[in-house]
Amino acid sequence: MNILVIGDIVGSGGRAAVKRFVPELREEYGCAFCVANGENMASGNGFSKGPLDELSGCGVDVFTGGDHIWDQKNFEKEILEFPNVLRPANVPDVQPGRGYGLFEAFDGTKVGVVSLLGRTFMKMACDCPFAAADRIVDELRQETPFIVVDFHAETTSDKISLGRFLDGRVSVVFGTHTHVPTADERVLAGGTAFQCDVGMVGARESVLGRDPDLIIQRYLTGMPARFPVINDGIRLNATVVRLDAEGRAVGMERVVRDLD
């Protein structure tokens, strides 16, 4: 089975690229399942019902979250309408929604998906992602060996450590949050596909999808400023992972598509 994983979707431009390319990529690479981090899809910050409705039927089976999961007003209520949207699993249990689940791929295979949040340099309070992953993966493996983990974290050391920790127990560990694709994609010794960061679906001529001139001014002056999303010149970054019948990775390939 082939799985398509996609980095942070940023703004309306990112959504347009997802709608355009995900169906094509699924067909081209024969992907039976797709996971995308969507926590920047609503105006560059968080989720909301409108953008999720817009992406309904686009070919993304599960949207994972991160530290901006609750940035949009009312999403703590709206998330209950979207069983395929995961908030981080290691935030307090009182938060609405869920952080992991079992889903069905196009070929009928059960796929477990887990959304986890890193703690280093993150403002959002959360529990240890390693302990949460340990518990959740044991539970999911009772149902399926096909498990995909999105680790939304800042540092490469955190991401590499979690990949090594879960090697042989899950199919894929992919990193999100830093918006820049890393060239370290590999299949680890135990059969887990790993990449520190898949990248983003956002403007090529930007700083993490935002207007670079305004961000540079912020660095120069130290004054607060708004950073509008750039919604043209969009590049989609993704990775295709090939799995064998036991859920072990046998190969992976970075994919880049430019909307214009």
**C-alpha distances out from residue 135 to 141, 142, 204, Å:** 10, 12, 38
Res. 225: pLDDT tops 90: no
Average pLDDT of span 119-143 = 96
CB within 8 Å of 27: residues ≥ 6 apart: none
pLDDT bracket for residue 82 (50, 70, 90):
very high
Residue 237 has pLDDT above 90, yes or no: yes
pLDDT at 259 over 90: yes
In 3D space, the residue among 73, 173, 56 whose CA is nearest the CA of residue 113 turns out to be: 173
> pLDDT tens across 165-204, in order?
999 999 999 999 999 999 999 999 999 999 999 999 999 9
Average pLDDT of the chain to the nearest whole number: 97
3-class state of residue 21 by DSSP: helix
pTM, whole model, 2 decimals?
0.96
Q: Which of 18, 57, 21 minimizes the C-alpha distance to 38?
A: 18
Are the C-beta atoms of 249 and 13 separated by less than 8 Å? no
| pLDDT, average across residues 206-234 | 92
Report whether pLDDT(14) > 90. Answer: yes
Token output for 240: 């295709």
* pLDDT computed for residue 158 by the predictor: 97
Confidence band, pLDDT 50/70/90 cuts, at residue 260: confident
pLDDT band at 226 (very low <50, low <70, confident <90, very high): confident
Q: Residue 205 contacts by C-beta under 8 Å, 6 or more apart in sequence?
A: 212, 230, 233
Stretch 193-222: mean pLDDT? 95
Q: Which residues pair with 240 in a beta bridge?
A: 4, 253
Give the span between the Cα atoms of 205 and 62, in whole angstroms.
28
Which CATH architecture best describes the domain 2-258?
4-Layer Sandwich (3.60)
The confidence band for 137, taking pLDDT boundaries of 50, 70 and 90, is: very high
Q: 3-class DSSP state for residue 241?
A: strand
Would residue 68 show up in a list of annotated catalytic residues for this protein?
yes
Note the pLDDT of residue 224: 86
Cα–Cα dist 89/183, whole Å: 27
The whole-angstrom separation of Cα 186 and Cα 252 is 7
